[in-house]
Amino acid sequence: MKNENLNWRNPKTVIILIVILAVIGTVFVSLLREKIMDQSFGQVTVVGQGKVAYKPDTAIVIFDVEVTNKKSSLEALTALDTKITKINEALKKAGVTESDISVSNYTFSPYNEGEAQNDDYGGKTQLMVRILGYDKGSDVVKQTISTVLTAGAKRVFSVSLDISNLEQLKQQARLLAISDAQTKARGIAKAADVKIKNIANWYESVVQVPQPVQSYSYYGGSFPISFKEIILEITVNYNTR
């Protein structure tokens, strides 16, 4: 007598096998979906802020350099170049590098030489000097100004304050902003009883950065040193579970 349970031609056997395979398939798909296909999550957005205090470490001094009472434009140009050379040599002796000295805005008068009288030609230009070490005290600025005026400049046009390591300061502020955003995200996630999964996206905005600002016209006064701030914000979107 044949065993019907092992008879593959028996409809009951086929139905039982189909049911078993269907159950196994359903369980497997459910486990797989839970393991690697579940994409249900929310987001939390936080804004982190980083502030870095600094003192300007560079002074930018612009001088007016002039010559007058020359017989021609060529003579005025020659005299002006001679004066600029003398000033440059004095600055180099004082320790200022050539890369921190620049000249611009040459002008001569009169522009119509046909109307000029004898000894009536003049020329002027502006000499810019970057002076490092301002954050350590203003004496270096005063000494440089004295050197340039003694060497032949007519006057100080302006003094501006700047920072030489701006990118380093921005990076410090950026790291502080990221840390602040992480702290805020953890606090929100804990309060909402969710878990931070990963970062969906983020972007940076600069709230305040230093710009060279004319701060002083030289009349023998002082150079105050005050702290300033770089402020940078990071907006971060976190995925949560």
Topology match between the domains 42-54+166-214+223-240 and 58-162: no
CATH code for the structural domain at 42-54+166-214+223-240:
3.30.110.170
Structural domain boundaries of the chain? 4-37, 42-54+166-214+223-240, 58-162
Closest to 216 (Cα-Cα) out of 176, 157, 163: 157
3-state secondary structure of 163: coil
For residue 147, name the pLDDT band (cuts at 50, 70, 90).
very high
3-state SS string for 53-104? EECCCEEEEEEEEEEEEECCHHHHHHHHHHHHHHHHHHHHHCCCCHHHEEEE
- The mean per-residue pLDDT over the stretch 166-191 comes to 92
Q: Given CATH 3.30.70.2970, say whether it is the number of domain 58-162.
A: yes
Confidence at residue 39, expressed as pLDDT on a 0 to 100 scale = 47
Distance CA 56, CA 137 (A): 11
Cα gap 125→103, rounded to integer Å? 7
Write down the residue that tokens 């000249």 correspond to. Answer: 103
Instruction: Using pLDDT thresholds of 50, 70 and 90, give the confidence band for residue 107.
Output: confident
More confident residue, 10 or 55: 55
Q: Alpha-carbon distance 10 to 142, whole Å?
A: 108
Q: Is the pLDDT of residue 113 over 60?
A: no
- pTM value is 0.63
What is the Cα–Cα distance from 83 to 56, expressed in whole angstroms? 30
Residue 19 banded pLDDT, cuts 50, 70, 90:
low
Least Cα distance to 147 among 110, 101, 78 occurs for: 101
What would the two tokens of residue 93 be?
A: 């002796």
